[in-house]
Every structure is written in C-alpha cells, then in structure tokens.
Structure 1
Amino acid sequence: MKITAVETVQIPPFYNLCWVRLHTDAGLIGLGETFRNAAGVAAYTHDALAPLLLGRDPLAINGLASDMRTRLDNRMQGFPTRSIELQSVSAVDIALWDIMGKALGQPLYQLLGGACRDRVPVYNTCIRPGRDSVARRLMHYVPGAEGTANIQGGSNGVKGDNLEEPGELAEELLAEGFTAMKYSPFDPFADKTRGYDISLADLNQGVKSVEKIRKAVGNRIDIYVDYHTRWQLSGALKIAGALNDLDVAWHEDAVQMHNLGDLETFREHVRGHVVGAEAYATVDWLREMLPRRALDIVMFDAGWIGGISETRDIAALCRSFGRPFSPHDATGPVVLLAGIHQAIASPLALKQEVVRIFLGGYYRNLVTELPRMENGYIYPAEGLGLGTELQPALLRKDGAQCRTTTIND
C-alpha cells in the first residue's frame, strides 16, 4: 500500500480548523485534524510533507513520523511547540494511524495496546453563549462570518453554558452526570497588567464566581480553573492564593509553560493539582518537566504536539513518572476522538475534556460519527481507526478550500 495523494480541507465558517486526508492506492483514506493557523498548516503540508509522504507505505508510521520530525528539526532553531510545522506533522500522523486501523480492521485503541477500560470519565469546559473568544478563534480569518448558530448547534437545540450564573450551571452539569467543570473566571483581567498583577476588585470578582458554585452545590462538583498561560508568576500566585480556601481541584496552564522555574515555584504555593500543558506537552518538554515534580497532571492535544505517535510516547513517559494525563478538547471532533482512543488504551488516563455545546453542536455537522457520552462518561466511536469521517457534503460546500497534491505532481 502506498500514499497516492495528500489533501487538506478547510470549511466555512471554521477556516481555522484544518483537516488532512491521506489517500492510498488501496482506497483507504486517513483523516487528521489540527486547529489554528490553518492556511499555514495547509501550505506546509503540501510544500514540505507531501513530497516526503507520497509513494511511501502509510503503515510504516514510526519511520514516517521520524522523518517528518527530522525535517521539522532541521527547519527550526530550538524546539517548536504548536508551530505551524508541528501542527502539520500532528494532523498527518493522526491520519496515518487512522489508515492503519482501517487496514488492520481495528479501532485505534487496539493499535495502542488494547483497552484498559470501555469508557473514560469526562469533565465539561464551560463556554459562554454568543461570540466568545472560542467562537472567534474557530472562525478566525473568515471575512464577514457572523453569529455562532453552527457552533452551538443551531437547529440541534444546544444551549450555551450560562457563566453569568455559575451556581445554576453547576447544578445543571451535575444533573447531566458531570462531576467536574472547568472555566476561566480571571481571563478578562489578565490584559490589564499583562498578567503581572490583578487588582483586589478584579480578584474578588473572580473569586465570587467560584464562591457561587460552592454555595450552590457544595463539594459535589470539582472546580477546575484554566489560566490559559496569560499570567506571570506574581499574578498567578495571587489568584491561586485567593482560591486556596475554596478547594479548587485543578489549576491549568497557570504560568508560561516554558518558564520551568516559575512552574516549580507555583507548585510549591498552591493547593490542588497543577496541570499543563495542552500545547507544550511534547516528550521533549516533559523530559525536562516531569523530573522537577512541578506538574501533577499532564494535558496534551494530539493536534498540536505531534499526533498519536507523540501521545503514545507521552503515555509511556507518564507511567515512568507516575503522573496521570488528561487529553485536551476544545477545537474539533477528530482530535477529541484521538484523545479518547489514547485514554481507552492507557491506565493512567484521568479524564477526557469535552465541551458539551460543541459535542452536541457543530461537531455533529462536521463528521459522520461522534462518541457517545452519558452519565459523566464518554465512549470511543464505533468503527475502524478513529471511527469517523468528514461529512461528504462538506467537501462540496460553497467556500470549501480543498487542495490536493498527488504522486504525479
């Protein structure tokens, strides 16, 4: 079997998502995905990776992954994290594993060593309704793109998370089976000081939001706070200190993740788990971070840090250091499925992130199959490889940007 064509796909209004489809002479098509800088990802995929991939055996994943990373390292000074180049490698790698599953007649988790469980516990990342920052990032570079009906489901009837009433939201999530919720009550204040400080008034406003959850549901739900690496050490410590008495269970990406010493200091002064880093958690970064014992839970995004080949190695590294991991999801359905398969196959998988308004909303308009979620757990999609395909109609949609490089080009 040989790779005969490399295709990239961008669909309106979500032009910031890029899908890679690898075509083979056996008729199998592998699907991969990444998010952000999609136009650059597509260009790099065709200009740099397609000549390396075309004509080669897609089942020789270790060799292909090594060659892609070698080319990447030769082009970059230092190690790139969530670079256009690494995003491209990530999407291609996911597609290669999808092909292998289809060729061998197995779901992806079987290729990773088989199932450790049949389902994975989830937590919900809460997204405000309307054109919030996540919506704007999804539709980045879309001239005239207005509204978020497709993001929140439109006719599917999916409603957004009401973060204006976090206590009521917590009760709603508990009723649906969620035992943990994540949100970012301090993000609106970071830009005022570039993350170096937060005023007492702004600090109290964020803290009051968390207090509303505790008042409404007590300790029945775990609260996760995402800092989005927008804070410097001084600002992050001030926030964490104010949250210590509220039993916040998880502090995610609290400081810039390349500042390893800052992360060590943060770990020394905070209660709850220190979590990172969805865009930095490559094997190379974790090799330096995990021995420092500054990270309690590893989070990764297969579409940013090297694909399935990298998450497989991260799972092994986590086992070596006795650290659980939690796959990231707030971008697209293919990366979500990749994370679920890795979690199903790994004993140290803690929880899978989901965004319920995405899973019940626009994800359903993009792919043919989605994982079943119920009572606080999510299951892998049924089928071979990842278990899903792009909706065929998307490729014919007005404004779709599909580019193909073939073995004869």
Structure 2
Amino acid sequence: MHITGIKTYMQRVDERPRLLLKIETSEGISGWGECYNHGPDWALPPLLDYLFHQIEGEDPRRVEFLVLKLNQQCRFPPGALGLAAISAIDHALWDIAGKAAGLPVYMLLGGHVRDRVRIYCGVYSAPDPERLLDQTFELNEKYGYTAFKLSPYRRDLHSGRWGELVRETGDWFGRIREISPSDYEFAFDAHAKIFEPYKAVQLAAAIALNDPLFYEEPLRPEHIPAWRELKSKLTVPLATGESLYNRFEFLSLLSAQGADIIQPDICVVGGVTEMRRIATLAEAHYVTVAPHNPMGPLATAVNIHFAAVQPNFQILEFKPHVHAPWALDPYMPVNGHMELRPDRPGWGIEIDEKVLATDDYVHWERKVTRKPDGSTAYP
C-alpha cells in the first residue's frame, strides 16, 4: 500500500472554519484528519499540497516514520501552521492504519485503559446563576454532563476597578455553587487576558473558596518562570497548554512545575504521535491531561482514541455542535461520557464527501480588545 493523493476541504463547524484532509492510497483505503485553523485559513491547503510531495508513494502505515520525516525535513522547527498541517496528516495516517488492520486506532496504540471518556461542556460565558442553572440542567438531562467550563469575567476587564471585578466573580461563583447540584464541577477559562501575574493570583483566590475543577490559562504562555511563580501561589488546579506546540515546550513547563493539568491540542501539536509523547512527559511529572478541543466531530473522534489509551487523561472538552453536516455519525455524549466504538476501524466516524463538495467556509478572526486609553489588550 502506498500514498497516492490528498484532498483538502475548507468547511465550518458552527461559526468557525475547519479544514479537513483526506489521504488516498493505492488500496482504496482513505484516512481523514482535521487541522486547527490558526489563520490565515487559506494558507493551509497549499501547505498540505507541499507536504504531500514529501510522503507521496510511502506506506501510510509507517506513521512514526512519516511524521518524523515531515518534522525533520523542515529547516527550522515548524510553527503553528506547519504543525497544524502535520497534525491532520498524522490523523489521516492513523485512520488508514486502523482501517487496514480492521481495528479502531486505540487498539493500535496499545489498547484502551478506560472503557469510556469523560467530557465537560464549554459554556464559555458568565451568565447569571439562575440562567446558568437552566443551561446546565438541560445539558445534564440531554447528555449527562456534570462538568462545565465558564468565563470568570462578568464584565470587561478594563472597565472599572480590578478588585471589584474579582469580588464580583467570587460572589457569583459562590451563588452558582449554592444553587447547583453538589456533584456539578465548574472550570474557569481566563483566556490569557491577564497580563500581570499578581492579578491572576487574586482572581484564583476569589474562585478557590468554591472548589473549581481547574483555572485555565490566566496568563500568556511564553514566559515559563511566570507560570512557576503563579502555580506556587495558587490553591486551585492550574491548567494551560493550548498555545504550546511541541514536547519541548511542554517539557519546559513541566520541569518548572508550572501546571497541574496540561491542555495540548491534538490538531495543534502535530497529531496523536506528538500528543502521546507530551502526555507521557506529563505523567512522569504527576500531571494530568485535559485536551483542548473546541474543534469539529473528526477532531473529537481523534481525541477520544487518544484519551482511551492515555493513563493520565483526566477529562475532554466537548460542546455539542449545531452545524457539522459532513459528519454522518459523530460521537455524542452518553451519561457525560463518550463511548468507545470497538467494532469500527480507524476513527470510527464516517465523512460525507458529497456534503464537503459544497463550499461552507466562514471567515473568523480574533478581535483585539481596546483599553479605555485606546491601547490594545490581549483579547
């Protein structure tokens, strides 16, 4: 069996662009992968065309060899776009390997260490407690969710006194905890909007009283010593990693004892192959893995197989999609978990290429926040 061609499809999931990759082989077996659209979105198809020529004619089941080749053929370490493209290739190669063997990918990775994969739902906003209770009850009744992720900001960070925002957040979470079922868990994603570490400490203290599941990415990821200092001052689990790219960056974070939970993205770091290396490093540091996954049904499928085999996996991010018509049979939550599909080879999900033939791309880009004085801030 050898690789004969690729196809790329720029699509959307809900209101975000997503790029899908199909790798074709001489035996008629094809595999699918998903890129993270960092932007510019349309840079990915020609990049994948370029990378295809480095793997054309190769046996797609030699996943480790081909991913190493793609990384090592780069003159400089690949960055965001390069690793996003390599991630999709890695996914597609594993899909082919599983289909060729007649096995789900998780069996090729050593077999499952858990029977199902726990998930949490991203709410991502900070609604009034009573409204949030209605949302969480509905999600619990429909899908069995008992874990949710919120924003810790009740208003714009730069309008008014910071200490007042911190107090409001603490009071608000206290009310949520007061009226919610005791088994519900709430995480908070600060989205790297805080520049000063002491402010991140203050906000963490406000939510600490009510036992958050974790406190995610209050700071930018670049300066590792700041994460070491931050973690040393917190009494809540500190999570980060969606903006880190490879095992070397994660090793720096872990060696500095800068996180309790890491959140690599399987569509960012270079795919399953690199994700497992990162997770193994975390395991050696007594750190768990809660993958970043705001992606589409295909990326969710890939994450489920990773989570099934990884001993230090904790919980997976998943928000049910409203619009992803190309996924014929997406994994959906049952009792707050994703069930494995032992009778389905590869990723266990079917892609409808007829739907992909219709252009469904939507443009999206981050909006830059402006402070009251007109200067920019992290969004």
Normalised to the residue count of structure 1, the TM-score between the two structures is 0.80
Q: Deviations over 1:186-222 (max 9, x none)?
A: 28534x38xxx96233334433432331121264211
Structure 2 distance, partners of 1:254, 1:370, is: 32
Q: Does 1:113 align with 2:110?
A: yes
Structure 1 distance, partners of 2:65, 2:129, is: 47
Match of 2:276 among 298, 303, 312: 312
| Alpha-carbon contact 2:221-2:243 (below 8 Å) kept | no
Give the letter aligned to residue 40 of structure 1: A
Structure 1 distance, partners of 2:323, 2:125, is: 15
In the TM superposition, residue 43 of structure 1 has moved relative to its aligned partner by 1.9
User: Structure 2: any 5+ residue segments left out of the alignment?
Assistant: 363-379
Q: Does 1:370 align with 2:370?
A: no
Structure 1 distance, partners of 2:311, 2:191, is: 27
| Alpha-carbon contact 2:293-2:317 (below 8 Å) kept | yes
Residue aligning to 1:248: 212
In the TM superposition, residue 50 of structure 1 has moved relative to its aligned partner by 1.5
In the TM superposition, residue 393 of structure 1 has moved relative to its aligned partner by 2.2
SS in 2 for 1:225: strand
Structure 2 distance, partners of 1:29, 1:87, is: 20
Match of 2:289 among 306, 325, 334: 325
Match of 2:340 among 380, 390, 400: 380
Within 5 Å, which residues of 2 pair with 1:34-73?
A: 34-36=35-37, 37=39, 38-47=41-50, 49-72=51-74
Aligned CA-pair RMSD: 2.6
Structure 1 distance, partners of 2:298, 2:243, is: 17
Structure 1 distance, partners of 2:177, 2:288, is: 26
Give the letter aligned to residue 378 of structure 1: M
In the TM superposition, residue 228 of structure 1 has moved relative to its aligned partner by 1.4
Change (3 A) 1:187 1:28: farther
More helix by share: 1
Change (3 A) 1:398 1:314: closer
Q: Which stretch has the larger CA shift, 369-378 or 103-112?
A: 369-378
In the TM superposition, residue 291 of structure 1 has moved relative to its aligned partner by 2.0
Change (3 A) 1:187 1:327: farther
Q: Which stretch has the larger CA shift, 292-301 or 89-98?
A: 292-301
Change (3 A) 1:400 1:189: closer
Change (3 A) 1:316 1:55: same
SS in 1 for 2:346: coil
Q: Which stretch has the larger CA shift, 326-335 or 162-171?
A: 162-171
| Alpha-carbon contact 1:2-1:54 (below 8 Å) kept | yes
Structure 2 distance, partners of 1:391, 1:174, is: 30
Structure 2 distance, partners of 1:227, 1:95, is: 33
Residue aligning to 1:168: 134
SS in 2 for 1:5: strand
SS in 1 for 2:73: helix
Structure 2 distance, partners of 1:227, 1:315, is: 23
Structure 2 distance, partners of 1:45, 1:239, is: 42
Q: Deviations over 1:236-255 (max 9, x none)?
A: 22211222222223011121
Give the letter aligned to residue 366 of structure 1: W
Within 5 Å, which residues of 2 pair with 1:333-344?
A: 333-344=297-308
Give the letter aligned to residue 230 of structure 1: K
Structure 2 distance, partners of 1:325, 1:198, is: 35
Residue aligning to 2:229: 265
Q: Does 1:217 align with 2:180?
A: yes
Change (3 A) 1:68 1:162: farther
% same residue:
24
Change (3 A) 1:92 1:165: same
Match of 2:101 among 77, 100, 104: 104
In the TM superposition, residue 258 of structure 1 has moved relative to its aligned partner by 1.9
In the TM superposition, residue 398 of structure 1 has moved relative to its aligned partner by 4.6
Within 5 Å, which residues of 2 pair with 1:57-96?
A: 57-72=59-74, 74-76=75-77, 80=79, 83-96=80-93
Q: Does 1:390 align with 2:357?
A: no
In the TM superposition, residue 386 of structure 1 has moved relative to its aligned partner by 0.8
| Alpha-carbon contact 2:83-2:245 (below 8 Å) kept | no
Give the letter aligned to residue 350 of structure 1: Q
Residue aligning to 2:30: 29
Structure 1 distance, partners of 2:122, 2:12, is: 24
SS in 1 for 2:290: strand
Residue aligning to 1:151: none
Structure 2 distance, partners of 1:26, 1:171, is: 48
Matched residue count? 356
Change (3 A) 1:265 1:85: same
Change (3 A) 1:75 1:294: closer
User: Structure 1: any 5+ residue segments left out of the alignment?
Assistant: 130-160, 402-409
SS in 2 for 1:52: helix
Residue aligning to 1:140: none
In the TM superposition, residue 399 of structure 1 has moved relative to its aligned partner by 5.7
Within 5 Å, which residues of 2 pair with 1:147-162?
A: none
Within 5 Å, which residues of 2 pair with 1:182-261?
A: 182-186=149-153, 189-190=156-157, 192=158, 199-217=162-180, 219-232=182-195, 233-261=197-225
